[in-house]
């Protein structure tokens, strides 16, 4: 649970961090007065889009195991049988 929250937080913050790095590289400072409202709005839209895509991708990847029962790894007749879903 905490991993998915951290991933979504990272996806949300990525556009703002990239814009800050661009501002630092081009203007040499991170003064908030230099940040345009239009750029922040675009970063917000990109951040929300990344979060939605991230939620879809991570949830779609988990749906293959949904409704199946996990059988843990075991030793059967001296042979190792890896865990799997049934």
Packing angle, helices 2-27 and 37-62, rounded to 10: 150
Residue 44's alpha-carbon distances to 37, 54, 59, 63, in angstroms, are 10, 15, 22, 29
Coil, helix or strand for 45?
helix
Unique residue bearing structure tokens 């951040």:
47
pLDDT in tens, 11-64: 999 999 999 999 999 888 888 888 889 999 999 999 999 999 988 887 776 655
Coil, helix or strand for 49?
helix
Distance CA 41, CA 16 (A): 10
Global confidence as pTM? 0.65
């Amino acid at each position: 649970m905490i991993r998915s929250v951290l991933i979504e937080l990272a996806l949300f913050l990525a556009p703002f961090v990239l814009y800050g790095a661009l501002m630092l590289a081009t203007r040499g400072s991170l003064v908030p007065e230099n940040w345009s409202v239009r750029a922040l709005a675009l970063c917000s839209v990109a951040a929300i889009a990344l979060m939605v895509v991230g939620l879809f991708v991570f949830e779609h990847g988990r749906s293959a195991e949904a409704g199946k029962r996990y059988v843990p790894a075991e030793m059967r007749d001296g042979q190792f049988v890896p865990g799997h879903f049934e």
